[in-house]
Amino acid sequence: MRGSAQPVRIHASEHKIQEEQICERADAIIRKLQKAGFEAYLVGGCVRDLLLGLTPKDFDIATSANPEQVRKLFSSARLIGRRFRLAHIYYGRDYIEVATFRAPHDESSQGQVNEQGRILHDNVYGTLEEDVWRRDFTINALFYDPVRGDVLDYVGGMQDLAKRRLHLIGDAEQRYREDPVRMLRALRFVAKLDFVLDGPTGDLIEAMVPLLNDVAPARLFDELLKLLHSGQGWKTFCLLEQYKLLPILLPITAASLAQDDQGIYRKLIQSALSNTDNRIAEGKSVMPAFLFAVLLWEQVHSQMVQAQLKGHPELQALHIAATDVLRDQVKVTAIPRRFSNITREIWGLQSRFHHRDLRRANILLSNPRFRAAYDFLYLRAAAGETRVAEDAAWWTHFQEASPEDRLGLCKNGGKKRRTKRKKTNPAASE
Ligand code: ATP
Ligand code: MG
């Protein structure tokens, strides 16, 4: 096994973390915990990102204080989680996460593993030395003490950071069995950090993929969103395909892609995910509902056509198809209704883009989902879907036109004037 009981201590002069990069609140929490006699460190993604020269998403703290002791020290602390109990210290609506060091599991009720080796509870508190080994990857197991300025490395994480490789701590098979979501985390970090999977950390994934079938759909939904809204959504999607994870996480999407002879559907997904990546890079908002509208569209569309052939009117056919497809996907990734309802609206508005009379066009334009529905229509047209190019062009023109021109467009049915297409690619917007 790599790593040792004695950590490598990297002093402030030997690493590139600067004091001023540390979130002041996290720094104050750590000082207060240490003053009260506890050990406290920054840990996980923030240490990794700082060492890589990236801006951390959030600053997580690990401490020897147990959750109750944290609550007593900080009046704004709230304890959360049953499977993994920890404290959130609130500053208005923001909070900083403070987790107690965990120890390896035994058979007690606080720490349990099921017959497949999966962790059910993880509430056995321990020491820093023990906590290191239950973390997932070496690069995520570095501890930083902002008071002394030292980084502690028990597992060779600094070396893996330098070599840009992702390496599970301990026995890779056991670690994936304990928590199959680590496979998804692996691909997320590879895409986000531009790392490579090292040895068994990568080699084992294909064989272990079925373990994900046992993970709670609510957790898979959260992980899927993190994967596709990581800022490297398209790259991550390709990795999911490469490592055969798509049929497990997005079976409907995988089936659609398997029969996508002309590549139209693939192009739709690629442009939607690439636009989402661009929006994230620009600090703009992104919509989970849009993502699912894209990922499930081919199946919804083809089931809708089937229902129409059976005699259902268009909207009813869409309703039947959307209900069926969403129900199947929700079994795998529990999409909350607040998102899936918007996905339905985006689909539902697609047929209304055929209308050309001014009153209906203006009603559609003022619909709160117009923007997302139009962006979706535009991507469908750009991907080469049949019979939507004309609608997309007409609506692009209609939105840009003056009120008089809009009237003209509607009177002549939008067919006489040559329509011009927007130069920039729109993406999902809220
Ligand atoms: P991100 O930048 O995406 O937040 P992160 O590494 O901080 O990346 P978190 O989900 O915030 O990811 O987790 C914080 C830390 O907790 C990780 O760095 C890792 O040490 C540990 N951790 C999280 N999830 C797991 C897991 N499934 N198994 C083992 N350790 C985990
Ligand atoms: Mg984090």
Averaged over 423-430, what is the pLDDT?
40
Confidence of residue 359 (pLDDT cuts 50, 70, 90): confident
Averaged over 89-97, what is the pLDDT?
96
CATH topology of domain 1-163: Beta Polymerase; domain 2 (3.30.460)
pLDDT at 65: 96
Confidence of residue 414 (pLDDT cuts 50, 70, 90): very low
Q: Is the pLDDT of residue 19 over 50?
A: yes
Query: What residue spans in the chain does CATH classification 1.10.110 cover?
Result: 173-244
Testing ligand 1's pocket by substitution, the residue of 185, 229, 230 carrying the most ligand atoms inside 8 A of its CB is 185
Ligand 2 center–CA 399 separation, angstroms:
41
Q: Which residues contact 106 (CB under 8 A, 6 or more apart)?
A: 124
Residue-wise pLDDT tens digits, 156-170: 999 999 999 999 999
Q: Could you tell me which residues are beta bridge partners of residue 98?
A: 61, 87
Testing ligand 1's pocket by substitution, the residue of 46, 58, 113, 135 carrying the most ligand atoms inside 8 A of its CB is 135
Residue-wise pLDDT tens digits, 366-408: 899 999 999 999 999 999 998 898 888 888 888 888 877 887 7
Q: Is the pLDDT of residue 99 over 70?
A: yes
Residue 153: active-site member: no
Ligand 2 center–CA 59 separation, angstroms:
7
CATH topology of domain 250-411: cca-adding enzyme, domain 2 (1.10.3090)
pLDDT at 222: 97
CATH topology of domain 173-244: Hydrophobic Seed Protein (1.10.110)
Residue 58: active-site member: yes
For residues 312 and 264, the answer to whether their CB atoms sit within 8 Å is no
The answer to whether the CB of 57 is under 6 A from ligand 1 is yes
> Which 8-state DSSP code applies to residue 418?
P
Ligand 1 center–CA 85 separation, angstroms:
15
Q: Could you tell me which residues are beta bridge partners of residue 153?
A: 8
pLDDT at 354: 85
Query: What residue spans in the chain does CATH classification 1.10.3090.10 cover?
Result: 250-411
Which helix (H) or strand (E) segment holds residue 405: the answer is helix 403-411
